[in-house]
Structure formats: structure tokens, C-alpha cells
Amino acid sequence: MSLKLKKIDYTKYPLPRMRHHANPVLYFPLKQHKGNNFYYPPVFEKLEWNEIFSSGKPPDMLDIGCGLGRFLLETSLKNSDKNILGFEVRQTAVEWIKGVIEGEKLPNVQALWYSAVNGMSFIETGSIEKVFYFFPDPWVKKKQNKRRAFSAELLKEIHRVLKPEGNLYLMTDVPEVDEYQQSILNETGLFEFRYTEKDQWDLQVRSNHEIFCEDKGIPFIRMTCRKKQ
Ligand SMILES: C[S@@+](CC[C@H](N)C(=O)[O-])C[C@H]1O[C@@H](n2cnc3c(N)ncnc32)[C@H](O)[C@@H]1O
């Protein structure tokens, strides 16, 4: 089935009022928390793909920190033969995206209320073509590094789930975040990475924050990270 001509009329889906950040506990792995009676997204060990995508197959692409999901939704339209899964820690954003998915009857996309710091054990090794990690929250202070989902552990997980020819795509408008991410990329040595100009960027869709930066003339970097064998 081709969804090529389909366009989403976002005016049908009024945006929710949202906080910029979620409760700080959500940025730390569940295993670091004591007790279990608090607000925290479910930590999945296994997902039933036939409950998530119409094809019943697992995802081909992952969007980590998908925010309000423009990139996630539009990428699903452009790739109707692929499944794309987004992770987002702000529950209100996930509910809004789910409303659009239901309203538009999109068969190949889903957003999970999930904190990526808990890893991705429910994603099969060597199964993913592309992982997107765009404009993570810009905590610039060193002491805030621990709040970032991007870590050596997550990078190892991304490396594990990617197919041999798979890519990780990064964007950020915060130089300190770029520096931090490169330090983790260097430390793990799992990817070959390079800055990528817009005309070499092989993605056809722009994310919410990418559009914001381009409209406001805010500089940002794009980086392509190729999985090393
Ligand atoms: C600045 S927004 C960018 C959203 C989107 N990627 C874009 O480019 O427009 C960063 C998003 O990452 C989400 N986020 C931060 N830490 C996360 C985590 N541990 N797990 C899942 N999402 C996270 C935030 O809630 C926020 O929506």
C-alpha cells in the first residue's frame, strides 16, 4: 500500500500544553530508583509487534526522543513499507502523537512512552536500519551529563540493534552537546562519524526542532555515524 500522497492536516489535532522537561526522575534508569510506587514510564522487556504495527513485523527505524513526532510521522508516510518506532519520555507528547496515528490510521508508526536510558532489550540485535537522535535536551553543564540519554551504554545498545550497514543520525544546535556526544563516540569506538552537510543528508523529512532552527537561523550540526563491524 502506498501512502505517498497522504498529508497530515495537523490543525485537526490541537497541540497540548506541555512542560519543556519531564520530572527529573524520568531521565534516570528505573533500576537506580528505590521503590516502585511512582510515576515512571513502563520498562519493557518484550513487545508484541503485532499489537504495534499493522504488518506485525518489528521496527526498521527508531526515533529516540521523538518529541512531538513530526519527523516520526512524516517519515512513516514517506516509507510506507517500513515500520518506525519513537521513544519519548513526555507522556503528553506521546498521547498527542498517538491521537494523530489513530486519526490518520497510520499502520507503520508508533510512539512509546519510554525513557531511553533503560536500554532497548526488546529490540532484536542487528534488526534496525536507522536510528535517529535529534536535538536531545540541551543540558550544557557537565554535572548534567548524567541526565542525558546519550551515554556509552546507550551507544552500545544502538550499535547492537543496528544492521551491519546501519546508521545513527545526530543533530544538535548546542556545541557542548556535540562535543559531549563526540567524546562518547570516540570513547566507545563503535562508529565512524562525520559532519554531514544538508545536501549530503539522506533524510527527506525535517524534525520539529530542525524546522525551528532553520526558521530562526540558529546554527546546528548534522552528523552521520556508520556502524563499525
Ligand atoms: C528538544 S526535543 C527534540 C525533539 C525531536 N527529536 C525534534 O528534533 O524535534 C528533545 C526530546 O527528547 C526527549 N527526551 C529526553 N530524554 C529522553 C529519554 N531519556 N527518553 C526518551 N525521550 C527523551 C524530550 O522529552 C524531548 O521531547
Q: Which atom of ligand 1 is nearest to the CA of 21?
A: 25
| Contact 90 CB / ligand 1 (< 6 Å) | yes
pLDDT of residue 171: 98
pLDDT of residue 45: 87
pLDDT at residue 37 is higher than 80: no
| Contact 67 CB / ligand 1 (< 6 Å) | yes
For the ranges 28-42, 157-171, 172-186, which has the lowest average pLDDT? 28-42
pLDDT of residue 64: 98
Q: What is the reported pTM? A: 0.93
| Contact 206 CB / ligand 1 (< 6 Å) | no
Q: How far apart are CA 75 and CA 97, in angstroms?
A: 13
pLDDT of residue 40: 84
Nearest CA, atom 14, ligand 1: 65
pLDDT for 47-100, tens place per residue? 999 999 999 999 999 999 999 999 999 999 999 999 999 999 999 999 999 999
pLDDT for 197-218, tens place per residue? 999 999 999 999 999 999 999 9
pLDDT of residue 124: 97
67 C-alpha to ligand 1 centroid (Å): 5
- Return the domain boundaries, the chain: 52-227
| Contact 133 CB / ligand 1 (< 6 Å) | no
Alpha-carbon dihedral 82, 79, 55, 162, rounded to 10 degrees: 10
- Residues serving a catalytic function are 137
Question: Is residue 35 very low, low, confident or very high in pLDDT (cuts 50, 70, 90)?
Answer: low
pLDDT at residue 6 is higher than 60: yes
164 burial class (0-12, 13-18, 19+ CB within 10 angstroms)? exposed
pLDDT for 112-170, tens place per residue? 999 999 999 999 999 999 999 999 877 777 777 777 889 999 999 999 999 999 999 99
Of residues 125, 174, 121, 170, the one with CA closest to residue 150: 170
Q: How far apart are CA 40 and CA 25, in angstroms?
A: 8
pLDDT at residue 39 is higher than 60: yes
| Contact 148 CB / ligand 1 (< 6 Å) | no
pLDDT of residue 18: 78
Q: How far apart are CA 197 and CA 149, in angstroms?
A: 25
Which of 209, 212, 215, when mutated, tests ligand 1's pocket best, judged by the most ligand atoms within 8 Å of its CB?
209
Of residues 131, 135, 225, 206, the one with CA closest to residue 174: 135
Q: Which atom of ligand 1 is nearest to the CA of 136?
A: 10
The answer as to CATH 3.40.50.150 being correct for domain 52-227 is yes
pLDDT of residue 3: 47
